[in-house]
Amino acid sequence: MTASPPKVALVTGAARGIGLATAKRFLADGWRVALLDIEGVLLRGAVAALANPQEALALTCDVSDAEAVRDAIEQVGNRFGRLDALVNNAGVAVFAPLLETSDADWERILSVNLTGPFLCTKAA
């Protein structure tokens, strides 16, 4: 019987915190993982520190940028040949009262937290 190839997950917001912990769990369970984050230097450091970085792919990506998302999904396909799971984890917040939140901050929150998952899901 032929063993099936490892499943592949893509986790956004994966340079630290819940996203990185999620990626580590997938890896521990035998999955290959594409880790996306807008903070490229932090992401590359996190991936280099993984127990099995050869099973991971670090991609610097702004999830609110449709072209960047499509490119990232294409790179996942080129590297791993499939995508079985998507974790839309990337998110931003402004810790200020609503009346003190700038229009630009509000637009960024919506772009990352709402448009980002839409773009990633659509591209996947």
Residue 2 lies in a domain: no
**pLDDT tens over the chain, length 124 residues:** 678 899 999 999 999 999 999 999 999 999 999 999 999 999 999 999 999 999 999 999 999 999 999 999 999 999 999 999 999 999 999 999 999 999 999 999 999 999 999 999 999 9
Residue 67 lies in a domain: yes
Which pLDDT belongs to residue 122? 98
Task: Supply the pTM of this predicted model.
Answer: 0.95
For residue 57, the enclosing domain spans: 8-123
Residue 1 lies in a domain: no
Structure tokens that stand for 70 in this block: 């499509």
- Burial-class residue 69 by CB neighbours within 10 Å (0-12, 13-18, 19+): buried
Residue 63 lies in a domain: yes
Distance CA 43, CA 14 (A): 7
Which pLDDT belongs to residue 46? 98
